[in-house]
Amino acid sequence: MNNDFKVPKETIQLAEQLKLLTGQNIALIRPEVDYVIYNRIKDEKQIERLLDKLLDCAGMGNDDLALFKRLCRYFYYINPQVTAEYVYSYRDLYDSEPENSDDPMSISEQHI
């Protein structure tokens, strides 16, 4: 009996399409994040909407994680409690173990 598990070709194609769409989504979100940070926007709801969008695709690659971290670091000075909640949400969704559990701003990149 052979215990080798093969992933169906269709599943691989769907994963590749999802990664492509996520990359396109990040390309659309990046200018919004840049605008918020560059213009020192302090509208918490606007920033939270961006963080929500980033959480939806943060597990797909380095660019999205870097963008998520950048916005979290900016938002931390506006609302540290809510920022920490987003970091913990990220950890729950994507991280197996945080690098430093005492630091809410620490996000492991092990999943990438």
The confidence score (pLDDT) of residue 7 equals 85
Provide the sign of the torsion angle of the four alpha carbons 87, 61, 53, 34, taken in this order: positive
Q: Of all residues in the chain, what percent are helix, strand and coil, respectively (each to 5)?
A: 65, 0, 35
Could you tell me the mean pLDDT of each successive run of 10 residues in the chain, 112 residues long?
77 86 87 97 97 82 83 97 94 70 52 32
Q: The pTM is what?
A: 0.74
| Ramachandran region, residue 90 (left: φ > 0; alpha: ψ -120 to 50; beta: rest) | alpha
Predicted local distance difference test score (pLDDT) of residue 2: 59
